[in-house]
Structure 1
Amino acid sequence: MNSIDCDLVIVGGGLAGGLAALALVALRPELRLLLIEHGAEPGGNHIWSFFDGDVAPQDRWLVDPMIAHRWTQGHAVIFPGFQRDLATPYNSITSVTFAVHVRKTLGDRLLIGADVRTLAPDRVTLADGRIIHAQAILDARGPGDLSALRCGWQKFVGHALRCAAPHGVERPVIMDASVDQHDGYRFVYLLPWDDHNIFVEDTYYSDTPNLDGVVLDERIAAYAAAKGWDAQSVHREEGVLPVVHGGDFDRYWPVSDPVARAGVRAGLFQPMTGYSLPDAVRFALWLARQPLDGLPAATRAFARAHWRQDGYYRMLGKMLFGAARPDERWRIFSRFYGLHPALIQRFYAGQSTMADRLRILCGKPPVPIRDAMRTLLNPPA
């Protein structure tokens, strides 16, 4: 058929689009819903992880079926001269568990391998000529016009390693910053799947999005060798995420754009970390309560409020990239990880209280005061 009719079409089967579809199928099963993904599977090639406090207990039903691994013993961080274990449990969703659950739940409401040619408020035209008519369209295809934002970048390469002998890592290491510093703030992220399998990610808070995958592959191999691991890589992924420290929301999402948005395309992520899962869950459950009429204006208002609320995190990002020497940026995170665990948890969830915000800025600063003030007071170019 060259024409299909739906109530709602979600374009983009990544984290935001997939969670929105799952929430709607569960809470509004009467809707004629279609999720369109251009790839062979929803979710792409990613691992999404979250702390227990990132998702409210009453909302965990949305993500719990996709959790590939859960570490109840908490997690750790490592910095030069400082190491800390934190008790908050940690969870990971893989693209495989995500794809399996989305496929099983959506059934024929999922369309994969479909290239979108154009979007309009009431229809999607595919590259093969099919037209899908709907009461509303939700665009969840990843970043929009990032030139409207002022960004640093979090970029990474990750390898799943199979070790010949037990690797000895008992809990996730969110940041191992004891490594040599290159290209900004560098740390290694570790997820021990079991005694012999571990995911190792080499991550950078960098001024540029340029990623030399070969060099990072070599650094991961060197890290494993230094740990004494006789390991073979069985899976690889890479990515570049914006760390937003300024910009113009109205340029990023013009009021004239008539199509509703979700996820990173709507600016719905923690700007200091690029972390999007908590916002994706909150948005999906909010969306399930909204009428389809007026959805473009409603989603833009939701995202606009999020942009205003996250001004504090953009300020921190501006200080990180503007006031701290690249090879000294690790000191900011080391100081932060010395604070109260509940404050750290709220920060990652994007729900820092006013007291949290003051505490983060109080005390001996990890960057020179003069440089920090100059960075905050100078208008953007």
Structure 2
Amino acid sequence: MTGHACDMVIAGGGLAGGLIALAVAKRHPDMTLRLVEAGPTPGGNHRWSVFSSDLTGEGHDLLSPVAQTVWDAGNEVAFPGHARRLAAPYRSIASADFAAALHRELPQGAIQCNAPIAALDAGGVTLADGTRIDAGKVIDARGALPSAHLNGGWQVFMGRHIATDVPHGLTRPIIMDASVEQLGGYRFVYVLPLAPDELFVEDTYYQDTPDLDEGELSARIDAHCAARGWTGREIGRETGVLPVITGGDPAAYLAEARVEGVALAGARGLFVHPLTSYTLPFAVQTALAIARHAHLPASQLAQKLEARSLGHWQATGFYRLLGTMLFGAAEPAERVRIFERFYRLPEPLIERFYAGQSTLADMARVLVGKPPVPVGRALSALTSDRPPLLFSNRKA
């Protein structure tokens, strides 16, 4: 079967793919687009958050059609020996609101859901049902690939959206509550007050394996809420197993992931924060870059994105070094000390860290002083390879 031809087809309707579609449609309204998503709706079932300072004016403009919850009064962190309020405004996007914006802003017929892709090439994509969508350019934004060419650890989480029985009284996000018991790795609870009677509570772990036990994490969220007097009913949940990249061979990974003439974007193109697994600022930057070069021939666009990916890898080496020390030098229950020390540093440094824009002075400030891990173990970790990022497990 043959589908309609278009100027650009974007494989994967998650955050990266959806933002590319928005950016290209806005800058080039003459171009015909197709956003192809395997699931029932673009955006999937996720929540993405960002410090306001992580985005440029152009980035905020790109996100402006998407409904966002914004906390201008800042955010909070808590550790066993330290708690702090940070002034940076914080904002969060629900995937349902992202999907609504895509349906509203993109041309009718541009979004095709329930359409798993069987194959793609420089001239288009072939769906699992045999339908062929021919395209002048193809962008592959279908998510990270497991690879023996990358190594590191894992960030594992469960988030629950709760309607509370009574107003909960929180006015600011608690972006990292690490005063909780440390279990199997660095653990913290992330809490967003979405409305006076709604909370998003997420239990997150930096751990050595990708195992996720939904029953166990759900019980821990129940216990955390009960200890704080938050009662109510669950109205949504999400889970995730994300790679925390500490090293590897990016050129070999890209060669493995590459389809000649197809541009790689999102996590598939390594556009992530290697330590925090943060994606939103980098997805915005990549979408804007693709929109600026959307009229290039397909092969040139693919080459430009690959060069951009390798440049991003080089620019984020400091965060991979820190990740190596986090996983390799600190005992799982002691990893909290690294983050507690970090959150005593000046707030502008913390903001630049999350945006992937740390200066040389920032890097020196993070590394100098009394180390939170033994020096010998840190040096040993830097000369050892972490396990390859190959698989993920989940227990129902």
TM-score range, shorter chain: over 0.9
**Do the aligned partners of 2:22 and 2:102 also contact (CA within 8 Å) in 1?**
yes
1:36 paired residue number: 36
2:274 corresponds to: 271
How far apart are 1:257 and its partner, in Å? 3.4
- The CA distance in 2 between the partners of 1:43 and 1:183, in whole Å, is 30
Separation in structure 2 between the aligned mates of residue 307 and residue 46 of structure 1, nearest angstrom = 25
Distance in 2 (alpha carbons) for counterparts of 1:378 and 1:96 = 42
1:283 aligns with 2:286: yes
User: Identity of counterpart residues, as a percentage?
Assistant: 48
Kindly indicate whether residue 363 of structure 2 is the aligned counterpart of residue 362 of structure 1.
no
Q: What residue in structure 1 maps to residue 96 of structure 2?
A: 96
2:393 aligns with none
1:1-381 paired onto structure 2 within 5 Å: 2-106=2-106, 107-254=108-255, 257-258=259-260, 259-290=262-293, 291-293=295-297, 294-378=300-384
Contact (CA 8 Å) 1:67, 1:91: kept in 2 or not?
no
With 31-40 and 341-350 compared, the bigger mean Cα shift is at 31-40
Pick closer, same or farther for the CA change 1:380–1:101 going to 2, 3 Å: closer
Q: Could you state the TM-score of these two structures normalised by the residue count of structure 2? A: 0.94
Q: Is the alpha carbon distance of 1:238 and 1:155 closer, same or farther for their aligned partners in structure 2, counting shifts above 3 Å?
A: same
Distance 1:151 1:366, change over 3 A: same
Is 289-298 or 203-212 further displaced after alignment?
Answer: 289-298
Contact 1:152 1:321 in 2 (8 A): yes
Letter in 2 for 1:333: F
After superposing on structure 2, the runs of 4+ consecutive aligned residues of structure 1 that deviate more than 3 Å are: 378-381
Amino acid at match of 1:297: Q
Deviation at 1:160, TM superposition (A): 0.9
Once the two structures are superposed, what CA deviation does each residue of 1:124-151 show, in whole Å capped at 9, x if it has no partner? 1111221111111100000123332102
Instruction: Tell me, yes or no, if the aligned pair for 1:162 and 1:232 is still in contact at 8 Å.
Output: yes
Residue 92 of structure 1, CA deviation:
0.5
Whole-angstrom distance in 1 between the partners of 2:279 and 2:127: 28
Find the residue that maps to 2:255 and give its secondary structure.
Answer: coil
CA distance in 2, matches of 1:155, 1:38: 23
What displacement does 1:194 show?
1.6
Query: How many residue pairs were aligned?
Result: 381
C-alpha displacement of 1:251: 2.2
Cα distance in 2 for residues equivalent to 1:276 and 1:380: 22
Does the aligned pair in 1 maintain the 2:48–2:93 contact within 8 Å? yes
Which residue type is aligned with residue 119 of structure 2? T
CA contact (8 A) 2:16 2:266 kept: yes
Distance 1:173 1:70 in 2: 13
What amino acid is aligned across from residue 254 of structure 1 in structure 2?
A
Distance 1:170 1:80 in 2: 22
Pairwise CA distance, 1:340 = 0.6
TM-score by length of 1: 0.97
Find the residue that maps to 2:4 and give its secondary structure.
strand
Which has the higher mean CA deviation after the structures are superposed, 254-263 or 9-18? Answer: 254-263
Aligned counterparts of 2:43 and 2:204: Cα–Cα separation in 1? 21
Q: Letter of the aligned partner of 1:292 in structure 2?
A: L
Q: Is the 8 A contact 2:246 2:386 kept in 1?
A: no
User: For residues 265-306 of structure 1, what are the alpha-carbon distances to aligned partners after superposition, in whole Å with 9 as ceiling and x for unaligned?
Assistant: 000000000001110011111111113311221111111111
The CA distance in 1 between the partners of 2:223 and 2:335, in whole Å, is: 23
Q: In structure 2, what is the Cα distance between the partners aligned to 1:162 and 1:91?
A: 20
The Cα RMSD (Å) is 1.3
Kindly provide the CA deviation profile for residues 134-181 of structure 1, in whole angstroms up to 9, marking residues without a partner as x.
Answer: 111100000123332102111101111111122122200011011111
1:380 to partner: Cα distance = 6.2
| Cα distance, 1:379 vs structure 2 | 5.5
Q: Which runs of 5+ in 2 are unaligned?
A: 388-396
